[in-house]
Chains A and B, each alone.
Chain A
């Protein structure tokens, strides 16, 4: 089953975890066959939110919700079950600075 591990960090802690640690974590997961994709994100100042209402597109500056912790990156993983996914999430280095939200992937109905 696929899970998306969403990494949340406070803006000022974004660089508290060295890149090479995250690279190593991703590499380790890839080798164990659990990683589908992982990326880090630019800070929320670079975010743009897009909406379409009544067929009309609107574009606004910034993230959808202004919260203390911002989405900083993600890991899309393959795990046996939630316990397995939690074990993976706990090994993601930013888990010690921010938090990791584990969400099961919903298969879209064809």
Chain B
């Protein structure tokens, strides 16, 4: 059989569509990540051998789970012959009822179990991200390492350690109960948003966006909304879609940053905006809007403005006021100040930014200085603008952003 033949292609398509579901169920049945991964690969190897002979099974996913499970139990039994029986995982050897594992609701729950386990608060934030991309999204260790500009061995070790902790500290493979759901959903959403942001505004490197990570984050976001339509999960998906809708307009042909006000709105993805605004309404309709839903609502106000100068900045300031009550932070305060500058003029915004900078929490935050520089520039305070652009430039590690700041400095009559 060659990679070009139809069965091989079918198996590949089934792998792309089903491997994460198969893995999620095998982890539950076998009780261990590594055993489950090995079993899944065995099952796909068996599919390549048997499907050409026997034809495609009626339910390929069920076939793969069942085959993977038997392969794992076989190899555990072989091991058990050489070793004391009690070292073999009880979960793996316990003969499970075929009907029970195939119950559709249990199967859907397996995908949630996998997400909640990968994002368990007892794992470090780095480990949560790496494990989610590896196990939930199926990215390779090399792909994750590349995306986060981290050496592959470091990343591999991070994943091994996290799996070790799941096993040794016995982090359970379960969907949290209603009582602990808010505190358990929070890190899940944070991981998804972190991955999205790393893809949307890479914190370092030569390119502004890394689409793959954003696409993965949106995929997991969709999965969460499908499986567990909590208002904040809906809010987060809306927020990601609305930000992502501007992707094509955010950089020019040379890869340089185009600010929101200067973007060609014809290049915004209307389908994503429509889906995003629909989700915002759904999230807000739940009553108490959370931080993601409010941020999505702000993004929706931008998305709905036909031109930059038609933006309803007063509504945006109002939404930031709500956000400051729900999730106050210096960065939210800074964004509010920028909105105030748009609604009430640069002087009003600058006064707020200076007050925030005086408090010192954002003294090393590049965007605070860039925002201050912009407002000073618009007020004609060129020396202040230059000083703030310089400060932002020394703090920026991202190439296109540095080019943008250098361009602004050059426009102020200073060549860098």
Contact = CB atoms under 8 A, between A and B. Distances in A.
Interface of A: 1, 80-83, 86, 102, 104, 106
B28 to A, nearest CB: 14
Interface residues of B, number: 10
A83 B172 contact: yes
Contacts of A83: 171-172, 174, 176, 180
Interface hub of B170, B172, B174 (most chain A Cβ within 10 A) = B170
Interface of B: 120, 122, 168-172, 174, 176, 180
B171 A104 contact: no
B172 A80 contact: yes
Contact of A81 (B171, B176, B180): B171
Nearest to B121: A86
Tell me the interface secondary structure of chain A in the complex: mixed
A82 B120 CA distance: 10
Chain B CB count within 10 A is highest, among A82, A86, A104, A106, for: A82
Nearest to A106: B168
Contacts of B122: 82, 86
Given A82-B122, A86-B122, A104 B172 contact: no
Given A81-B170, A83-B174, 18 more contacts: A1-B170, A80-B172, A81-B171, A81-B172, A82-B120, A82-B122, A82-B169, A82-B170, A82-B171, A83-B171, A83-B172, A83-B180, A86-B122, A102-B169, A104-B168, A104-B169, A104-B170, A106-B168
Contacts of A106: 168
A80 B174 CA distance: 13
A81 B168 CA distance: 10
B223 to A, nearest CB: 22
B49 to A, nearest CB: 38
